[in-house]
Amino acid sequence: MSWLVLALSGVLEAVWATALGRSDGFSRVGPTVVFGVALLASMGGLAYAMRELPTGTAYAVWVGIGASLTVLYAMATGAEPASLVKVLLILGIVGCVVGLKLTH
């Protein structure tokens, strides 16, 4: 259960990071609210997962999922240019996250 919660928390990390960028310095209400809710839920899920998982592993997986999804979303929406090198590097991050899960 901890791994599932951790993965969902990583997805929420991508949500709050994207919302933070769209909040325009917290001047836009909608993205600011999404940021706050997603941040609290993401951190809560990380804290829950860390009851059973080692801190370093949980944090690395959480950040890896969040960072990968944030960049992929930005590339998919055109907010950030896409390239083969970026996609390969993101796949490397995903591979490392899977490796951490498999070695746990």
Residue 14 contacts residue 35 (beta carbons within 8 Å): no
Side chain identity at residue 86, one-letter code: K
pLDDT tens, 60-88?
999 999 999 999 999 999 999 999 999 99
In the DSSP assignment, the letter for residue 81 is -
pLDDT tens, 20-41?
999 999 999 999 999 999 999 9
First vs last C-alpha separation in the chain: 14
In the prediction, which pLDDT does 27 show?
98
